[in-house]
Structure 1
């Protein structure tokens, strides 16, 4: 520990306003946040234009393995696309359908208005929910057919094209297909040849087969606030939007080329003018594969990533001449965002704030509600059993109204929450199983509870009426 801090102190002297005490505070902060958020592992690297200033793996699991970097993959996709643009292989203001004839929405006229730039800027009008669609086939003709069928089911708002920022993975999946079509290489092959290899990113992979062979860090999902180890399979069709695998050392090389305007010591990976376009926000502070804007008063170029069992973040502060990458093997956007913010504050002598893990508390709350609902159902079932489980119906308006209202509310809970989250219920269950299945189980428990309560009351009412009649 002391050795790491001393090296960092020496490297940073005379450059940023970092010091040994600053990073010691950051290290303490990381370890505290890992405990608060139940994070198994955190991998971090800090770089400037010339070198890696600091790199460390936190957590008990010291085994080798990469992390999935989630939507940070979009930054690589944008760079690959702009490389091809710089070579004259395509024009970014040309309609996508010109290059991909299968890119056809329900309204073909609308399809012809969506350009490559719109996909890059996330202003194509494609909805966020569309980003959860990924073709399952591995045969290119079948992949294209799946995309075409799905796209033709979409009816988007024409007025949103080029004007409204709607973050959707589908934009970058299609860019991945475009890179393949224009370059003649598979997406993973192109990125490896023109980005990974020139940058010396030898342990980064943009294909499922290579990632599986190299191995991933053990990934975890939250189950009501507790990390549960989970592994998943995926195919190459979604990699351009979110399934590149890398580690902190390799990602630090990517950050350095961004800090040096696209140049390495021996090569130019991407022209500076193209990089400037990528880092120029069009709408909602999003450029091309990067979010751009203010971070606690500092100019920031960044992106976060979230997959089923990993989360990550990169942040480049060009005016301060450094960048940070954080990789974790837990599925929480807020956890990695807080880690990034806390580290930046400590390295830049900014006010240190306490982060309350509301997301974890919310997961605990869902568990508590489910337990309470289950107990309540058991109690109601016991009452019903004492009546020998009668199924009787009361035609009293108040009882019928309460029954129908409660059933409606339970069903709406399954519809409204995914709708406002803009995530299909089944996808929510895959990405955040405690939230998705919590909704489903909660709705089932609620339905059973209200129905049993209704039957119990109906039996009492009917028995009372029968007694009065006698």
Structure 2
């Protein structure tokens, strides 16, 4: 019995050994065929992940998401770091997209054009009779296409004057556009390019007027929902529902959480958002000739027109919401859009010729380091195309500007407390020796210099960056608040020197009167006796 059991065991073990050997051989053969391809893909994404992670480390970005599209599908996606609430970022983490909103608004307008509700070369006032700039004649000649291509004559500065309101009251978008009536146009419509989110706010108001619906709900119905962008943000309600984590601004080089509200008034030009997966679906439709998974949102002809460079811009050429150029280091045509808000950065790079695209979303941004933040997307596209990735060094101004303002504030503070030296005897003697003319000239020079510095920092410096002091505080909080402090000290110094000049003049005038400071001599006793006698 035992021998029979042992014989059965040996036969069973032999069969198992042969089966296992067959499995191993098959696995080895399969491995010879499949492993090199898998390894190549794994190494490719590892190299890309390492590159973008290095860029995020360089910029100090706390959290980011990456998506790569090839051949009509998302082939790689990944989250990096954490959001501002301490949670790991994933491809489903929501961000705000900044000006990446513009191609979506452009697509909504083109839908209306294809439906016959809007003509691109018709004046805007055909659909918004109340639309006004400071020059009514210019307002009458601004067309829908001018707004789409940023050639409407609305200046770039208008974005900061009517934008970043964080206004979510009913009719917020219309109110922002109506405030353009005080903006003076730059040149003639169609004459020159001037990037302007204010112009896209007008397009959003136009969509509302023609459709009879608020911009956000209309965009969901016609663009976002048909494309399956389930968690996209185009209204305050979406923003609250998706619990969009706050982004980060930089204060002396360190990312600091910026918990800002949503801005309904800025939705068409900047305040849209969602996850990398949401944005991937929009990009897939753009690469797919206006359709995704059998749902069409725009004709193939409309997509081609929107992605065609129509006017020269600051960077490459500009179409109907998209920038168009060539990928650096290659000959590939590149259709792209970057977008930034205080606390967020986003970039889409499409390479239609090779059916590729890269999407990078970041939860931080620094206005003076914009190109560094965009390197992650551009560099990834270059790696996909076999070119060396771009890597921009930090602009020294980003570091020097806030610290320069702090040092200047310190020097001005010393100037403000300097009058305490008047308590010293040597200072008082020097003050007494000055003439009235010199006192007046010194006071006037101090006041004029202080006011000139205040004007330079309050108006001229922010204007050089295309904004105002309010926008400087919003986008560059360290430098912006330092400028506010410096201006306050210059005004204090001007008032102080004016007051001290008046005091010194009064003292000097008193000392100029004959015997003004000498007491009357007391009569001597002898003299008094003689008088009485």
Is TM > 0.5 for Structure 1 vs Structure 2?
Answer: yes
Task: Give the structure 2 partner of residue 305 of structure 1.
Answer: 339
CA shift for structure 1 position 52: 0.7
Query: In 2 relative to 1, CA 451–153 (structure 1 residues): closer, same or farther, beyond 3 Å?
Result: closer
State the shift of 1:338 in Å: 1.7
Runs of at least 5 residues in structure 2 that lack an aligned partner in the other structure: 1-33, 518-533
Are 1:327 and 2:361 matched, yes or no?
yes
Q: Which has the bigger relative contact order, CA under 8 A and spacing at least 6?
A: 1
Q: Work out whether residues 102 and 147 of structure 1, in 8 Å CA contact, stay in contact via their aligned partners in 2.
A: no
Q: How many residues align?
A: 452
Deviation at 1:364, TM superposition (A): 3.1
Residue 348 of structure 1 aligns with which residue? Answer: 385
**Distance verdict in 2 for CA 1:240–1:397, change over 3 Å:** same
Give the conservation status (yes or no) of the 8 Å contact 2:454–2:487. yes
Tell me, in whole angstroms, the C-alpha distance in 1 between the residues paired with 2:296 and 2:234.
21
Q: Higher mean Cα deviation, 256-265 or 129-138? A: 129-138
- Secondary structure of the 2:318 match is coil
2: CA distance, partners of 1:388 / 1:363: 42
What RMSD, in angstroms, separates the aligned Cα atoms of the two structures? 3.4
Structure 1 segment 94-173 matched on structure 2, within 5 A: 94-132=122-160, 133-134=162-163, 136=167, 138-140=169-171, 144=174, 147-148=177-178, 150-157=179-186, 159-173=187-201
Contact 1:407 1:450 in 2 (8 A): yes
Question: Larger Rg: 1 or 2?
Answer: 2
- Which moved further from structure 2: 453-462 or 403-412? 453-462
Query: Which of residues 47, 54, 68 is equivalent to 2:69?
Result: 47
How far apart are residue 270 of structure 1 and its match?
0.8
Deviates more, 1:349-358 or 1:42-51: 349-358
Q: 1:56 to 1:143 in 2, by over 3 A?
A: closer
What is the deviation of 1:204?
A: 0.6
| Equivalence map 1:51-450=2 (5 Å) | 51-60=73-82, 61-62=87-88, 65-132=93-160, 133-134=162-163, 136=167, 138-140=169-171, 144=174, 147-148=177-178, 150-157=179-186, 159-283=187-311, 284=313, 285-296=317-328, 297=330, 298-332=332-366, 333-358=370-395, 361-377=396-412, 379-380=414-415, 383-388=418-423, 394-395=438-439, 397=441, 400-401=444-445, 404-445=448-489
TM-score (norm 1): 0.85
CA deviation after TM superposition for structure 1 residue 300, in Å: 0.7
Unaligned runs of 5+ in 1: 1-9
d(CA) in 1 for partners of 2:439, 2:400? 37
Give me the TM-score of the superposition, normalised by structure 2: 0.76
Alignment-derived partner of residue 58 in structure 2: 36
Distance 1:28 1:353 in 2: 14
Distance verdict in 2 for CA 1:377–1:402, change over 3 Å: closer
Instruction: Give the SS at the match of 2:182.
Output: coil
Separation of aligned partners in 1, 2:175 and 2:379: 46
Deviation at 1:408, TM superposition (A): 1.0
